[in-house]
Amino acid sequence: MIVKPHPETRVDAPASDEVNDLRITGLIAWMVDGARSSTSPDAFVNDFCHRLVTAGIPLDRFGLFVNTLHPNVAARRFLWTAAEGVQMREGALSIFSEDQYLKNPLPAVTSQQVTIRRRLTDIAAIDEFVILGELRDEGFADYLAQPLIFTTGETHAATFSTRHPRGFSDHQLAALDRIRQPLARLVEAYLLRLNAASILSTYVGRGSGEQILNGRVHRGDGTEIEAAILFTDLIGFTEISNRISGQKVVEMLNDAFDLMVPPVEAHGGEILKFLGDGFFAIFPYDGSRALEQAVKAASETIMEGEAKLAASPLGESLAFRSALHAGRFHYGNIGGANRLDFTAIGRPVNYAARLLAAASDLSLRRVASSDIAINLCTVPRLAAEVEFKGFEGKQKVFSY
Are residue 119 and residue 213 in the same domain, yes or no? no
Q: Are 400 and 366 in contact (CB under 8 A)?
A: yes
Handedness of CA 101, 102, 108, 112 (dihedral sign): positive
16 in a structural domain: no
**Domain end among 163, 184, 200:** 200
Residues 229 and 117 in one domain: no
The number of angstroms, rounded, from the C-alpha of 115 to the middle of its chain's C-alpha atoms is 29
CA 224 from chain centre, in angstroms, equals 27
Q: Which of 178, 175, 202, 276 is nearest to 232 (CA)?
A: 276
**Is 306:400 a contact under the CB 8 Å cutoff?**
no
Residues 184 and 262 grouped into a single domain:
no
- Domain limit, last residue, from 168, 200, 232: 200
**Same domain (yes/no): 232, 147:** no
Same domain, 180 and 255: no
What pTM did the predictor assign? 0.70
Contacts of 137 (CB under 8 A, 6+ apart): none
Which residues constitute the domain of residue 25? 21-200
Q: Note whether residue 155 is domain-resident.
A: yes
Whether residue 29 is found in the same domain as residue 170: yes
Angle, vertex CA 23, rays to CA 21 and CA 27, nearest 5: 115
Is residue 9 a part of any domain in this protein? no
Contact between 30 and 150 under an 8 Å Cβ cutoff? The reply is no
What pLDDT digit, counting tens, does each position of 345-373 carry? 999 999 999 999 999 999 999 999 999 99
Quickly list H helices, the chain: 21-32, 41-54, 99-102, 106-112, 123-128, 130-137, 170-178, 180-204, 206-213, 237-243, 246-266, 291-310, 347-361
Per the domain annotation, does 12 fall within a domain? no
Does one domain contain both 225 and 322?
A: yes
Asked if 280 and 272 count as a contact pair (C-beta separation under 8 A), the reply is yes
Return phi, psi of residue 161, to 5°: -135, 145
Residue at 1 is within a domain: no
Q: How many domains does the chain have?
A: 2
With respect to residue 3, please indicate whether it lies within any of the assigned structural domains. no
In a domain, 268, yes or no: yes
| Residues of the chain falling short of pLDDT 50 | 1-15
Any domain includes 10: no
Domain's final residue, options 200, 216, 242:
200
Q: Say whether both 195 and 222 belong to one domain.
A: no
End-to-end CA distance of the chain: 67
Same domain, 144 and 193: yes
pLDDT of 16 reads: 54
Residues 325 and 378 in one domain: yes
Residues near 256 by beta carbon (within 8 Å), at least 6 away in sequence: 234, 309, 314, 318, 320
CATH number at residue 64: 3.30.450.40
What is residue 128's predicted lDDT score, i.e. its pLDDT?
Answer: 86
Report d(CA 191, CA 199) in Å as an integer. Answer: 12
C-alpha distances (whole Å) from 28 to each of 106, 169, 180, 354 are 24, 20, 9, 59
In a shared domain, residues 392 and 289: yes
Classify 317 as helix, strand or coil: coil
Q: What is the pLDDT of residues 114-135, one digit of tens each?
A: 999 999 988 877 888 989 999 9
Within this chain, do residues 308 and 173 fall inside the same structural domain, yes or no?
no
